[in-house]
C-alpha cells in the first residue's frame, strides 16, 4: 500500500527542510572558502539546494550530491570571475570582513590558485575528503587530484613563506 | 630521499596550517547567524538564516515534489528567505509563495535565483581612448574598425561552438596569438610560405564578441616569436629583442639574452623566460629569466642535452620545431627527435625526460602542451594519421609519459594542439576539432564545431577558445 501523494510530498518537504537546516551553514562556509565572497556563496548554495530539490527523487545521497553541486557551482563562479577580472582590470571586490593578518595572507594565497587547485585544497584540508572522493567530486582521477594538490601546495608554500 | 619524499616532509607544516586556518577563515567569512538581520535576532542557531517551519503548509502535491528548476529554486529561495506556503498548481507541480508570518496573504511567488548562477560583473575593455605608439603611431584604433558587436548575436552562456564575425584583417599564418586579459590578440604573421610578413593585427573581445583592428608598431616578421605578460608583448625577430606595451604602444628594446642566438619566449610563474640555444644547430638548451625591474637577464642556465642538435626551427624556417610548455612548476622543451628536457623552476635544475616511445624512428611531429593539470604531449608518428596523447607524470621523482589508449584522427601534415583548461583541443584540416581529456581519458569529436580548413590560429582565454581559420571564426566554450 503506497502513501498518498500528499503524504509523499509532505515527507519530501520535511526531508528537504532537514537537509537545509543541517547543511546550509557548512555549505556556505565551503563555498566561501572556494569563492571568497559570502554573498556569492549564499547564491551558489541556494541554487544548489534548488537543484537537489528538483532531483530529490532521483538521488540516493542528497548530502553528497549537494556538496558536489555546490563545488561545481563555485567552480563556475571562479571561471566566470577569472574572465571578468581580466577584463575589468581591477581587483574583485572583497567582502568587508576584518580578518587577522594570517587569514588575510591565507585568503590571498588561495586566490593565487587555479580554480581546480583551490577546490582540491579546500576539499582536502577543510572538508577532509580523501583523494578518491575529491576525484569523484571534480570528475578527475585520484592521480590528477594528487598532482593538483602537489602543485597547489607549491604555490601556497611560496605565497605564505 | 626522493624529491617526492622531500616535498611531503616540506609540506607538513603547511598542511597543518591549512587544517587549522581554513576552518578559521571559513568561520570568519561566514560566521553563524543571520546574514542580513541584526545581531541578536532571536531566530535560533544556524537556522538563524533559515525559515521557521511554522509557516509551512503543503496544500497538495503529486509524486514529483518539484517539477521545474524554477519551481525548485523558488522553493529553496523561500526556504532560505523565510516562511512560505506551498500550493498546488494545475500542472501537478508546486509553487512556493512567500507568506508573511503575520498576514498569511499571498504576495506573489518568491523570486527564483538565476538558473545560470551568480552573475559576475564584467566590464568590457575601454576602447574609447586612442593609444599611440612611438611617434604617435596609433596601436589600437579608437573606434575599432572591425567592431561588430551589433551584427552578431550576443554571447550566450551555453557551452559549445558558435560562429562569430570574421576578423577584420586578412588571414595569416603563424601570427602572434596571445590572450591579453581583454582580447584574443592576433598580430603579425605571414603568408603561407612565409614570403610576406604582415604588420597589422586584430583583437577579439570575448565579452562583446567584437573585433578591433590593431595597426601595430608597423613591423612584423615571419619568424616572430612572442609571449605576453602583464601588459607587455615580448618579441624577438631577426636579432631584435623588444617588448611592446599593448595599451600605450610604448616599445622598449631589451638586451640580448646572453649567448642565445635563437630562442623562444615562455611565461611561467609570473615571469617571462627566453629558452633557446647558442645556435640553430646547438645541442645545448639555455634558459634565462628577464627581470623588468633591472632590465637584465638572469645568468644562463645551460643544459648540454647530449642530442645531436636541437631543431629550433623546422625546414620552412618560419616556425619552431622545438616546442615549449610551461606550468607554475616547470618549463619543458620538447624536440621532434623524441627527446625532452624539463627545467624545474623551484630548484633551477634540468633533467632529461623519457622518450615518448621506444620506437627509435623520429616522430613526424610532436608538441608539448601545458594544461591546467600539467604537461601533456601530442605525438604523430611516421605514417600515422592519428595522434597519440600522453601526460607527464611524476612517480616518486621518476618522470614518465602515460599514454591514452585511444588516438585522435589528424592530418599528419598539418595539425595543432592547444590547451583548454585541463583538456586539449586538437585541430586538423578536414576534421572536426577533437577535445581530449588527457588526465582522465576520453576524446570527444566536436561535431557541432567546424570542419576545419587548412590553417587555424587559436587563443585560449581561460574560459573560451577563439579559433580563427581561413573560413571563419568560432568560439568554443566548455561544458
| Cβ pair A51:B69 closer than 8 A | yes
Lowest mean pLDDT: which of A5-9, B16-20, B156-160, B347-351? A5-9
At A61, the pLDDT band (50, 70, 90 cuts) reads confident
Q: Which of the residues A8, A9, A159 would you substitute to probe the B interface, choosing the one with the greatest number of B C-beta atoms within 10 Å?
A: A9
| Cβ pair A29:B66 closer than 8 A | no
Using CA coordinates, name the residue in chain B closest to A138.
Answer: B440
Least CB–CB distance from B72: residue in A36, A50, A103: A50
Q: How many CB pairs under 8 A join A and B?
A: 228
Rounded to an integer, the average pLDDT of B105-109 is: 29
pLDDT confidence of residue B396: 64
SS (H, E, C) chain B: CCHHHHHHHHHHHHHHHHHHHHHHHHHHHCCCCCCCCCCCCCCCCHHHCCCCHHHCCECCCCCCCCCCHHHHHHHHHHHHHCCEEEEECCCCCEEEEECCCCCCCCCCECCCCCCCCCCCCCCCCCCCCCCECHHHCECECCCCCCCCHHHCCCCCCCCEEEEECCCCCCCCECCEEEECCCCEEEECCECCCCCCECCCEEEEECCCCEEEEECCCCCCCCCCEEEEECCEEEEEECCEEEEEECCCCCEEECCCCCCCCEEEEEEECCEEEEEEECCCCCCEEEEEEEECCCCEECCCEEEECCCCCCCCCCCCCCCCCCEEEECCCEEEEEECCCEEEEEECCCCEEEEECCCCCCCCCCCEEEEEEECCEEEEEEECCCCCEEEEEEEEEECCEEEEEECCCCEECCCCCCEEEEECCEEEEECCCCCCEEECCCCCCEEECCCCCCCCCCEEEEECCCCEEEEECCEEEEEECC
pLDDT confidence of residue B42: 30
pLDDT at position B381 over 60:
yes
Q: What pLDDT digit, counting tens, does each position of B387-444 carry? A: 889 999 876 667 888 888 788 888 877 888 999 998 999 998 888 999 998 887 788 9
Least CB–CB distance from A86: residue in B24, B73, B181: B181
Q: What pLDDT digit, counting tens, does each position of B239-258 carry? A: 789 998 887 888 899 999 88
pLDDT confidence of residue B55: 28
pLDDT at position B36 over 80:
no
Please report residues of A whose CB lies closer than 8 A to that of B29: 29, 32-33, 36, 38, 41, 95, 97
Using CA coordinates, name the residue in chain A closest to B125.
Answer: A87
Q: Above 0.90 for ipTM, yes or no? A: no
Q: What pLDDT digit, counting tens, does each position of B66-78 carry? A: 333 344 444 444 4
| Cβ pair B118:A44 closer than 8 A | yes
| Cβ pair A28:B124 closer than 8 A | no
| Cβ pair B182:A5 closer than 8 A | no
pLDDT confidence of residue B420: 95
Highest mean pLDDT among B47-56, B70-79, B163-172, B349-358: B163-172
Q: Which of the residues A13, A82, A152, A161 would you substitute to probe the B interface, choosing the one with the greatest number of B C-beta atoms within 10 Å?
A: A13
Rounded to an integer, the average pLDDT of A131-140 is: 85
Q: What pLDDT digit, counting tens, does each position of B122-158 carry? A: 222 222 222 223 333 333 332 333 333 334 444 555 6
| Cβ pair A43:B113 closer than 8 A | yes
Cα–Cα distance, B129 to B44 (Å, whole number): 55
| Cβ pair B24:A103 closer than 8 A | yes
Least CB–CB distance from A46: residue in B7, B27, B113: B113
Q: Which of the residues B51, B76, B110 would you substitute to probe the A interface, choosing the one with the greatest number of A C-beta atoms within 10 Å?
A: B76
Rounded to an integer, the average pLDDT of A9-27 is: 82
Rounded to an integer, the average pLDDT of B348-377 is: 82
> Is B65 near chain A, with CB under 8 Å?
yes
pLDDT confidence of residue B38: 27
| Cβ pair A147:B374 closer than 8 A | yes
Measured in angstroms, the CA of A47 and the nearest CA of chain B are apart by 6
pLDDT confidence of residue A38: 87
Amino acid at each position: 500500500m503506497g502513501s498518498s501523494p500528499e503524504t509523499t510530498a509532505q515527507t519530501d518537504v520535511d526531508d528537504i527542510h532537514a537537509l537545509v537546516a543541517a547543511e546550509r551553514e557548512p555549505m556556505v562556509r565551503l563555498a566561501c572558502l572556494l569563492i571568497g565572497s559570502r554573498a556569492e556563496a549564499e547564491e551558489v548554495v541556494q541554487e544548489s539546494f534548488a537543484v537537489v530539490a528538483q532531483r530529490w527523487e532521483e538521488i540516493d545521497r542528497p548530502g553528497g550530491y549537494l556538496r558536489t553541486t555546490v563545488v561545481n557551482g563555485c567552480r563556475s563562479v571562479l571561471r566566470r570571475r577569472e574572465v571578468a577580472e581580466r577584463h575589468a582590470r581591477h581587483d574583485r571586490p572583497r567582502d568587508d570582513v576584518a580578518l587577522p593578518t594570517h587569514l588575510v595572507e591565507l585568503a590571498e594565497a588561495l586566490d593565487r590558485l587555479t580554480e581546480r587547485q583551490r577546490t582540491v585544497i579546500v576539499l582536502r584540508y577543510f572538508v577532509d575528503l580523501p583523494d578518491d572522493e575529491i576525484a569523484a567530486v571534480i570528475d578527475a582521477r585520484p592521480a590528477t587530484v594528487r598532482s593538483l594538490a602537489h602543485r597547489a601546495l607549491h604555490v601556497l608554500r611560496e605565497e605564505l613563506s | 630521499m626522493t624529491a617526492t619524499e622531500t616535498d611531503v616532509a616540506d609540506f607538513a607544516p603547511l598542511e597543518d596550517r591549512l587544517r587549522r586556518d581554513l576552518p578559521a577563515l571559513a568561520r570568519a567569512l561566514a560566521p553563524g547567524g543571520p546574514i542580513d538581520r541584526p545581531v541578536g535576532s532571536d531566530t535560533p542557531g544556524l537556522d538563524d538564516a533559515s525559515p521557521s517551519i511554522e509557516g509551512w503548509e503543503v496544500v497538495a502535491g503529486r509524486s514529483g515534489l518539484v517539477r521545474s528548476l524554477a519551481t525548485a529554486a523558488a522553493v529553496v529561495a523561500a526556504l532560505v528567505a523565510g516562511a512560505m506556503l506551498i500550493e498546488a498548481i494545475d500542472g501537478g507541480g508546486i509553487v512556493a509563495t512567500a507568506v508573511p508570518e503575520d498576514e498569511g496573504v499571498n504576495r506573489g511567488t518568491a523570486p527564483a535565483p538565476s538558473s545560470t548562477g551568480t552573475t559576475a560583473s564584467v566590464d568590457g575593455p575601454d576602447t574609447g581612448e586612442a593609444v599611440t605608439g612611438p611617434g604617435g603611431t596609433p596601436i589600437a584604433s579608437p573606434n575599432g574598425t572591425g567592431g561588430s558587436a551589433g551584427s552578431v548575436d550576443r554571447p550566450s552562456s551555453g557551452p559549445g561552438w558558435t560562429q562569430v564575425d570574421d576578423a577584420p584583417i586578412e588571414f595569416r599564418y603563424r601570427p602572434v596569438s596571445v590572450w591579453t586579459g581583454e582580447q584574443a590578440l592576433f598580430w603579425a604573421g605571414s603568408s603561407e610560405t612565409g614570403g610576406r610578413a604582415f604588420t597589422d593585427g586584430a583583437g577579439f573581445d570575448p565579452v562583446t564578441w567584437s573585433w578591433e583592428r590593431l595597426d601595430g608598431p608597423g613591423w612584423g616578421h615571419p619568424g616572430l616569436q612572442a609571449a605576453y605578460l602583464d601588459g607587455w608583448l615580448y618579441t624577438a625577430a631577426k636579432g631584435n629583442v623588444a617588448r611592446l606595451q599593448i595599451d600605450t604602444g610604448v616599445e622598449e628594446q631589451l638586451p640580448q639574452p646572453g649567448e642565445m642566438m635563437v630562442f623562444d619566449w615562455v611565461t611561467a610563474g609570473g615571469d617571462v623566460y627566453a629558452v633557446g640555444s647558442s645556435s640553430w644547430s646547438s645541442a645545448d638548451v639555455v634558459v634565462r629569466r628577464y627581470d623588468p625591474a633591472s632590465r637584465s637577464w638572469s645568468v644562463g642556465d645551460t643544459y648540454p642535452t647530449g642530442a645531436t642538435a636541437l631543431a629550433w626551427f623546422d625546414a620552412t624556417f618560419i616556425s619552431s620545431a622545438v616546442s615549449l610548455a610551461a606550468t607554475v612548476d616547470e618549463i619543458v622543451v620538447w624536440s621532434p627527435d623524441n627527446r625532452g628536457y624539463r627545467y624545474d623552476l623551484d630548484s633551477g635544475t634540468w633533467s632529461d625526460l623519457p622518450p615518448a616511445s621506444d620506437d627509435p624512428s623520429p616522430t613526424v611531429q610532436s608538441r608539448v602542451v601545458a594544461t591546467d593539470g600539467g604537461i601533456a604531449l601530442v605525438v604523430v608518428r611516421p605514417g600515422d594519421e592519428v595522434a597519440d596523447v600522453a601526460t607527464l607524470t611524476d612517480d616518486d621523482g621518476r618522470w614518465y609519459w602515460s599514454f591514452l589508449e585511444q588516438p585522435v584522427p589528424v592530418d599528419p601534415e598539418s595539425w595543432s594542439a592547444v590547451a583548454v583548461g585541463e583538456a586539449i583541443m586538437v585541430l586538423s584540416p578536414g576534421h572536426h576539432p577533437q577535445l581530449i581529456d588527457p588526465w582522465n581519458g576520453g576524446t570527444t569529436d566536436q561535431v557541432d564545431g567546424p570542419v576545419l580548413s587548412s590553417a587555424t590560429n587559436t587563443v585560449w582565454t581561460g574560459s573560451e577558445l577563439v579559433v580563427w581559420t581561413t573560413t571563419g571564426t568560432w568560439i568554443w566554450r566548455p561544458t
